[in-house]
Structure 1
Amino acid sequence: MKKRIFILLVFLFIFSQPTFAQDLLQRGIIEYRAESYEEALETFKKVRQQYPSSSIAAFYLGLTYKQVGKYREAVSNYRDALTLTPRVNEAYPEIIEMLYNLNELKEAKEWIAEAEKAGVFLANIAFLKGLVLAKEGKNDEAIHAFTKAKTLNKDLTQAVDFQIAMIYAKERKLKQAKDALKALISIDPSSELASFAKEYEASIARVIEAYKAWRFNIGASYQFDDNVVSKPTGTIGTAAVDNISGKRDSAITNTFAVTYSPMMSGQYSFAAQYSIFATNYFHSYAYDTMAHSIAIIPGYNFQNSAISLPLSYSHVWLNEQEYMTITSLKPTLNIQLFNSLIGQFSVGYGKREMLKYTQGADPDEDRDGNLYTTLIGIIYPFKEGKGFFNMRYEYTKDDTQGKNWDSKSDKVSATILYPVMNKLNLSISGDMTVQQFKNIHTISGTGTNGYPSIPTKRRDKLYNANASIVYEILEGLNLNLNYSYTRADSNFAIYDYRKNIYGFGINYEF
């Protein structure tokens, strides 16, 4: 019935205009139906120029602009088709679709409301409303609109079930998505949409089968450190330091981690991890280190962003004696800025307690304290997400009990992971930290070797560079080659040093 009304409008327009306009419009329609869109475009432009008040000409020009991919021009003409007299109701679904594709959802919703008020093409409008709401992340409302669409028009059932399945998949409700796709396929197994749904349903089934909530990681590596004790770069005048031997040493590092990350539906996420890290030197036993860490990371995913709340606790041993604990909370926001660029923002609080107490130790050297951090960064994935570039700026305030360690620092870092070939990845990273200590160091000006001869505030510049090559020997089994360089440039000679570490190891994840 509505199609007949539209044909009648075209008929009335043609026969209410001069012969020249009739001929142009008829010629344009013939060209459009013959898919000669460039010719039709020029013809309809002429009709609109001569008869700008024609809603029919505006509608056809909008259709033609759509076919040649000029969506904004199409929208402009659809607006005219809906505001001029007589109104062309067929332009409602067209303008909504174009605005949806242009991501101009606010105006799309305004036209949806008008179409619903006019009571035209209700099933198609409900379907388009579902698309708009889904793009806005209003999934429950979108499902309601889609369900209404197939209630009004059974021919939309397959398309509706597919869109609902996509919503379930986005919400990680994979079982519901799988069931919706099965229902879609059963309606008409021979359709093109059903064929695509079969592939997608099989893909979801593989994801469900392959997903493992528990992940384990075991690693072992050898490293050679040419300055285990962080011996100062220059001579400070103290024999015990200047003549120190055995600063070069080899070590074996072992790691183990277990992660639990259940498949959660909806926008929520959760992960928990326990890890052990141990470094044992061949000769410098006093620097043997072991750390046990626990972390829980709840999170929530929005349409274009995600927020997480990592809470962690680490307990460190040095030479088989308790050395330090650190507890930290670091709320983090990752947000898609544009295209593939991701912005990262976080603030954090940490509590550090030094456990190794030395009788008669200087209280100004007490490093117990509170850590306050702010971070801003970007992440740019490339090579289909197999590689990425990351740059960060981090500000840290270290509020210690001992006045000699109270400081503020600014750190800039960058990392690039580049997939060289199928099983070979190269990672390069570097950072620079400028650390300024708040108070005049109590040992400076006392004549102690390695410290300034006059009362001075300490200032450090720390530079780190790292490079690693990772080769996948078998699935989950990787060979790692690593190199790192550290340069601590301090105005206190005792804290000024260089360090090179070379290493290789294997890592297995399952």
Structure 2
Amino acid sequence: MKWFNLLLMPSAVLLLSIPFTPAAFALEAPATTSRAIEEYNRENYEEALQLLLAARTMEGPSTINSYYAGLSRKETGDDSGAVADLTAALTGTPPFSQAAAVLVNSLYNLERFQEAMQWVLWSEQQGVSPGEIAYLKGRLLVREKRYDEAIVAFTAVKSDDQEMDQQVGLQIASAYVQGNRYEEAREALQTVISRNPSSDAANFAREYDQKLSTAKPSKRWSFFLGANYLYDDNVAGVNTGKQADSGISEGLRVEYDALLSEPWSLNAQYSISNTNYLRLVSKSVISQSLSITPGYRRGNHVITLPLSIASTNLDTTTPLSTTSLNYRNYSVQTALRPTDTVILNQENLLQGGVSYANRQMFQDEPISEENRDGNLFGVHMGYIRLFSGGTGMFNLRGEVVYEDTHGKNWVNLGERLGADLLLPLAERTRLIVSSEAFFQNYEYENSLYGTKRRDTTLNTTVTLNQMLTTRVYLNLQYSCMRQFSNISVYDNQRNLVSAGFEARF
């Protein structure tokens, strides 16, 4: 329903009337300031501002001077200058409380939302301009996606102005739409219409009530189907006796976004991928995963609780096998990863959380110390920077993971550092670069090699994504993995190149 929110934008910058009595203020003000107020009331804003600046030199600063200077600057489009003068009007002696609503409006226009909310709270405590402040508070809460609180704020707006009442009604309807509460939105639009059926706002409400009644439901299901050709120069990931091979990989991913009222959300995903090597068939693999991610938003925090299960199956086909499908279980891992995403502003986000996973391996190990079954405990943090209107992204992330395995040879503490870059090269072309370093220190002396193992693993992946049609994409990818280890059998390098297509529905 983004069309509805965009078309309501003009009401977001509705100029609020700040109640005051210019004549009374003029009587209390010094002579030059009084002349400036008269010029302001005649809508000669630049002349008023010049007189006010001169009055500060001749008559000294005053909060009424700062207030009208702020109003004059705002009328000439100088919100930054208005903020300085209006702040002085509120913090001077005596405080000029009528400046609060205009200050909040200017801060909103400058996207200084946190400061704006601080002055809203101050105004509520002081009982200043309750109607205008309630309206602006509603606008700020909508930005934070706190729709229920925004509706309460809009409902608190009291005005004798019928046009203002209708604008508030449109804002309430917009908040309902963004919170996926479409029936309440239509009721709010009907209220707007009933207040003055012949007004422009009523005509606007009728048109979009009709759109709401006929609009198609938001897309809930998404499907991704892909196929790639790949070349792998070290299929087994070994130090000596490397074997290269080509193969074909196919993948399917299904996503579902549940239709829930704000602040709740729910996403579910299922994926299956199959990599078939042409010569080294015993290295072919099928991977499946299922995840469910409930979410809750409170203010600028988004709390998610992803729960996932992933399984891997290896092909045991041999040249003497009579069937081409002979997969066996290799591993199953279940994981829980609670995460808090803090939205600093429209371009900057912070993430942090903890994780737990249980891993079960199904192959028989020659000795118990090599058993990799166990539990994994982690702490993760990250920073996300969005750019190019949200089409580009930079992500910096870090994680500490402790693997408590049944076999002592695999118990380790790992530190992972990574960075990701999504760069829009053209309207239909994206470059994706991902790089990661993983440092692992093993807790016990390895029973096979007589020393404590230490690994450093470096991974880099570069992907070029080209949209061919609205549903078909071309993917070209190169991946390099280099693992350094003080035990030579684990020291290896692997390069993989792939090219293929993906269809999205």
TM normalised by structure 2 equals 0.82
CA distance in structure 2 between the partners assigned to 1:161 and 1:357 by the alignment: 68
Q: Given the alignment of the two structures, is residue 355 of structure 1 paired with residue 362 of structure 2, yes or no?
A: yes
CA distance in structure 2 between the partners assigned to 1:131 and 1:274 by the alignment: 38
CA distance in structure 2 between the partners assigned to 1:317 and 1:92 by the alignment: 65
User: Which deviates the most, 193-202 or 368-377?
Assistant: 193-202
Gaps of 5+ in 1: 15-20, 234-241, 445-454
RMSD in angstroms over aligned alpha carbons?
3.3
Q: Given the alignment of the two structures, is residue 167 of structure 1 paired with residue 175 of structure 2, yes or no?
A: yes
In structure 2, which of residues 235, 248, 252 is the aligned counterpart of residue 228 of structure 1? 235
The equivalent residue for 2:55 is 47
The equivalent residue for 2:3 is none
Give the residue type in structure 2 aligned to 1:12. Answer: L
The equivalent residue for 1:431 is 436
In structure 2, which of residues 152, 166, 182 is the aligned counterpart of residue 144 of structure 1? 152
CA distance in structure 2 between the partners assigned to 1:348 and 1:32 by the alignment: 61
Deviation per CA, 1:196-251, whole angstroms, max 9, x where unpaired? 77897788789x52622222221111111111122315xxxxxxxx4x7xx11111
CA shift at 1:380, angstroms? Answer: 1.2
Give the residue type in structure 1 aligned to 2:412. Answer: S
1:404 counterpart SS class = helix
Give the residue type in structure 2 aligned to 1:441. Answer: N
CA shift at 1:89, angstroms? Answer: 7.4
> Residues 35 and 460 (structure 1 numbering): CA distance in 2 closer, same or farther, change over 3 Å?
same
The equivalent residue for 1:388 is 393
CA shift at 1:480, angstroms? Answer: 1.1
Determine if contact 2:338/2:355 at 8 Å carries over to the other structure: yes
Deviation per CA, 1:446-476, whole angstroms, max 9, x where unpaired? xxxxxxxxx3111111111111111122222
Larger Rg over CA atoms: 1
Q: Given the alignment of the two structures, is residue 459 of structure 1 paired with residue 454 of structure 2, yes or no?
A: yes
In structure 1, which of residues 370, 379, 385 is the aligned counterpart of residue 384 of structure 2? 379
Determine if contact 2:231/2:498 at 8 Å carries over to the other structure: yes
User: Which deviates the most, 495-504 or 103-112?
Assistant: 103-112
In structure 2, which of residues 312, 327, 330 is the aligned counterpart of residue 316 of structure 1? 312
The equivalent residue for 1:218 is 225
> Residues 181 and 420 (structure 1 numbering): CA distance in 2 closer, same or farther, change over 3 Å?
farther
Determine if contact 1:122/1:152 at 8 Å carries over to the other structure: no
Give the residue type in structure 1 aligned to 2:170. Answer: F
Give the residue type in structure 1 aligned to 2:339. Answer: T
In structure 1, which of residues 55, 71, 95 is the aligned counterpart of residue 82 of structure 2? 71
1:156 counterpart SS class = helix
The equivalent residue for 1:508 is 503
CA shift at 1:305, angstroms? Answer: 2.3
Give the residue type in structure 2 aligned to 1:508. Answer: A
Determine if contact 2:400/2:413 at 8 Å carries over to the other structure: yes
Determine if contact 2:474/2:501 at 8 Å carries over to the other structure: yes
2:384 counterpart SS class = strand
Deviation per CA, 1:456-507, whole angstroms, max 9, x where unpaired? 1111111111111111222221111111111111111111111111111111
CA distance in structure 1 between the partners assigned to 2:19 and 2:349 by the alignment: 51
CA distance in structure 2 between the partners assigned to 1:224 and 1:303 by the alignment: 47
The equivalent residue for 1:83 is 94
Identity of aligned residues (%): 32
CA shift at 1:76, angstroms? Answer: 3.5
CA distance in structure 1 between the partners assigned to 2:72 and 2:423 by the alignment: 44
The equivalent residue for 2:494 is 499
CA distance in structure 2 between the partners assigned to 1:197 and 1:403 by the alignment: 68
Q: Kindly report which structure 2 residues correspond to 1:283-432, keeping only aligned pairs within 5 A, or say none.
A: 283-319=279-315, 320-338=327-345, 340-357=347-364, 361-432=366-437
Q: Kindly report which structure 2 residues correspond to 1:110-149, keeping only aligned pairs within 5 A, or say none.
A: 110-115=122-127, 123-124=131-132, 126-128=134-136, 130-131=138-139, 139-149=147-157
Determine if contact 2:120/2:133 at 8 Å carries over to the other structure: no
> Residues 281 and 122 (structure 1 numbering): CA distance in 2 closer, same or farther, change over 3 Å?
closer
Deviation per CA, 1:300-336, whole angstroms, max 9, x where unpaired? 1222221111111112111211111101101111112
The equivalent residue for 1:469 is 464
> Residues 30 and 296 (structure 1 numbering): CA distance in 2 closer, same or farther, change over 3 Å?
same
Deviation per CA, 1:108-146, whole angstroms, max 9, x where unpaired? 333334346xxxx66445534544665676644542342
> Residues 189 and 333 (structure 1 numbering): CA distance in 2 closer, same or farther, change over 3 Å?
same
Q: Kindly report which structure 2 residues correspond to 1:4-43, keeping only aligned pairs within 5 A, or say none.
A: 6-10=21-25, 12-13=27-28, 21-22=30-31, 24-33=32-41, 35-43=43-51
Number of residue pairs the alignment of both structures matches: 471
In structure 2, which of residues 252, 259, 279 is the aligned counterpart of residue 256 of structure 1? 252
Determine if contact 1:370/1:399 at 8 Å carries over to the other structure: yes
CA shift at 1:100, angstroms? Answer: 6.0
> Residues 508 and 183 (structure 1 numbering): CA distance in 2 closer, same or farther, change over 3 Å?
farther
Determine if contact 1:64/1:74 at 8 Å carries over to the other structure: no
TM normalised by structure 1 equals 0.82
Give the residue type in structure 2 aligned to 1:159. Answer: Q
Give the residue type in structure 2 aligned to 1:501. Answer: L
Determine if contact 2:144/2:300 at 8 Å carries over to the other structure: no
In structure 2, which of residues 118, 122, 141 is the aligned counterpart of residue 106 of structure 1? 118
Determine if contact 2:69/2:82 at 8 Å carries over to the other structure: no
CA distance in structure 2 between the partners assigned to 1:81 and 1:199 by the alignment: 48
The equivalent residue for 1:238 is none
The equivalent residue for 2:480 is 485
The equivalent residue for 1:17 is none
CA distance in structure 1 between the partners assigned to 2:432 and 2:19 by the alignment: 65
Q: Kindly report which structure 2 residues correspond to 1:199-210, keeping only aligned pairs within 5 A, or say none.
A: 209=216
CA shift at 1:51, angstroms? Answer: 4.5
> Residues 299 and 133 (structure 1 numbering): CA distance in 2 closer, same or farther, change over 3 Å?
closer
Q: Given the alignment of the two structures, is residue 274 of structure 1 paired with residue 270 of structure 2, yes or no?
A: yes
CA shift at 1:296, angstroms? Answer: 0.8
Give the residue type in structure 1 aligned to 2:358. Answer: K
Determine if contact 2:277/2:284 at 8 Å carries over to the other structure: yes
Gaps of 5+ in 2: 1-16, 316-326
CA shift at 1:53, angstroms? Answer: 8.5
Determine if contact 1:123/1:153 at 8 Å carries over to the other structure: no
CA distance in structure 1 between the partners assigned to 2:394 and 2:20 by the alignment: 58
Give the residue type in structure 1 aligned to 2:359. Answer: R
The equivalent residue for 1:452 is none
CA shift at 1:364, angstroms? Answer: 0.8
Determine if contact 1:92/1:115 at 8 Å carries over to the other structure: no
Give the residue type in structure 1 aligned to 2:476. Answer: L
Determine if contact 2:415/2:438 at 8 Å carries over to the other structure: yes
The equivalent residue for 1:451 is none
User: Which deviates the most, 279-288 or 39-48?
Assistant: 39-48
